[in-house]
C-alpha cells in the first residue's frame, strides 16, 4: 500500500510539473495586440513607437485603457486624447520634458504642458475640453500603486501641433 501511495504522489508531481511548464511557456510568449487603425504614436526621445487603438467613451463617459497599446479618443474639437498604461506603452512617458516632440500619424506636436495630479482631483471634463489649436493630450498612471493597474496619481501632458 505504501508503494502505491508513493507512486501516485510521483505521478501527481509529474503531471503538475508538465502543466506548469506548458502554461508557463505559453504565458511567457509575447502577444501581438492588434490596433484598429493605421495611426502610429511616436515619441523619439523615449524610443516610443506604437500603433494605437481608436476607442469610444463608455456609456457613463468613463474611459478604458487597452491592455498593451494606447487608446485614442477623439475627445473634443482640437483635442485628441490618448490614454495608456504606465506598466506597458507609457512606461517612459515621465522622461519627456517641455518642448519634446510627439508624432501622431504625419503630424508633429510639441509638449507645452506636463503635470502630475492626484487621481481623485482630476476633472476629466477639463482634460477633455475643446482646444483653440490642434492638441494631443496624453495620460497615464503615476505615483504609488493602490490596486492592480491603478495608482494614486496621473501624469498628464499636452502637446500642440507644430506649424
Q: What are 17's three cell numbers?
A: 510539473
How many H helices and E strands in the chain?
A: 2, 8
pLDDT digits (tens, 9 = 90+) for 28-41: 333 333 445 678 99
Residue bearing the bigger pLDDT, 74 or 45: 45
Rounded to whole angstroms, how far apart are CA atoms 129 and 111?
17
Rounded to whole angstroms, how far apart are CA atoms 153 and 48?
22
3-state secondary structure of 5: helix
Rounded to whole angstroms, how far apart are CA atoms 93 and 96?
6
Residues ≥6 apart with Cβ < 8 Å to 2: none
Find how far residue 103's CA is from the centre of its chain: 17
For residue 80, which of 157, 163, 144 has the smallest C-alpha distance?
Answer: 157
Rounded to whole angstroms, how far apart are CA atoms 101 and 161?
10
Top-confidence range, 18-22, 33-37, 118-122: 118-122
Dihedral of the CA atoms 45, 47, 53, 54 (nearest 10)? Answer: 10
Lowest average pLDDT, out of 34-38, 63-67, 125-129, goes to: 34-38
pLDDT digits (tens, 9 = 90+) for 85-113: 888 889 899 999 999 999 998 899 999 99
- Environment class of residue 65 by beta-carbon count within 10 Å: exposed (0-12), middle (13-18) or buried (19+)? buried
Amino acid at each position: 500500500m505504501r508503494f502505491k501511495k508513493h507512486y501516485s504522489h510521483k505521478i501527481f508531481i509529474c503531471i503538475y510539473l508538465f502543466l506548469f511548464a506548458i502554461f508557463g511557456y505559453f504565458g511567457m510568449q509575447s502577444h501581438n495586440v492588434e490596433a484598429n487603425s493605421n495611426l502610429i504614436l511616436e515619441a523619439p526621445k523615449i524610443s516610443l513607437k506604437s500603433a494605437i487603438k481608436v476607442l469610444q467613451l463608455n456609456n457613463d463617459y468613463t474611459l478604458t485603457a487597452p491592455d498593451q497599446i494606447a487608446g485614442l479618443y477623439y475627445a473634443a474639437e482640437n483635442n485628441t486624447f490618448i490614454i495608456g498604461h504606465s506598466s506597458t506603452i507609457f512606461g517612459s512617458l515621465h522622461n519627456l520634458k517641455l518642448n519634446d516632440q510627439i508624432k501622431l500619424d504625419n503630424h508633429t506636436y510639441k509638449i507645452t504642458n506636463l503635470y502630475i495630479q492626484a487621481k481623485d482631483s482630476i476633472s476629466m471634463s477639463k482634460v477633455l475640453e475643446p482646444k483653440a489649436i490642434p492638441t494631443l493630450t496624453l495620460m497615464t498612471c503615476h505615483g504609488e500603486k493602490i490596486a492592480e493597474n491603478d495608482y494614486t496619481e496621473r501624469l498628464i501632458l499636452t502637446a500642440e501641433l507644430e506649424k
